[in-house]
Amino acid sequence: MNPEISKGLYVWGEFDQESAYLVESQKTKVNEKLSGPDFDVHLTLSGPINYNESDDRKNFLNLSKRFSKLKLKLSGIGYKENYFQSLFFVVENSDELNSLKKSIDEKAGFASKEYFPHISLFYGSANEDLKKNLCRELVIPNEIYLEKISLVKIHKNIEHWETFETFYLKK
């Protein structure tokens, strides 16, 4: 059973094909042992946001043209007793990533708050020792590339999340 989440539109950072494959392969290893729900690998940037399609589409398009494809460095694997942060790759904060997040938050009318960038590999609850042992089996990609921002409709069930619109960052 999924915990209650805020329904709405979230802004995800999504990866180029090679990076998505590297992360997805590790997520698959995790879920073979922990049997979590299926979800697209992503880096949550902001949300939930209000989105007016006629006005905000242009804003997100302009935003995506201001930022280039971002190289992200993964600095480790972490786990918590939090359904949506149960097991994850830790993403190193960078000026470029923080600038993108700040621009999105400003567009959404959010005040800046502390950001914990991570890429979830498993949603759910699992024994801490099991997660710790599993961390030793995973391969952390040296670097991955965020190439697009997507607006994702979040529904109560993870299996029903859907990408509403995607904007590619400039090459």
Q: Is 89 exposed, middle or buried (0-12, 13-18, 19+ CB in 10 A)?
A: buried
Q: Is 166 exposed, middle or buried (0-12, 13-18, 19+ CB in 10 A)?
A: middle
Tell me, what's the pLDDT at 1? Answer: 39
Spans of the chain below 70 pLDDT: 1-7, 156-159
Tell me, what's the pLDDT at 169? Answer: 97
Whether 123 and 83 have beta carbons less than 8 Å apart is answered as: yes
Tell me, what's the pLDDT at 5? Answer: 53
Tell me, what's the pLDDT at 159? Answer: 64
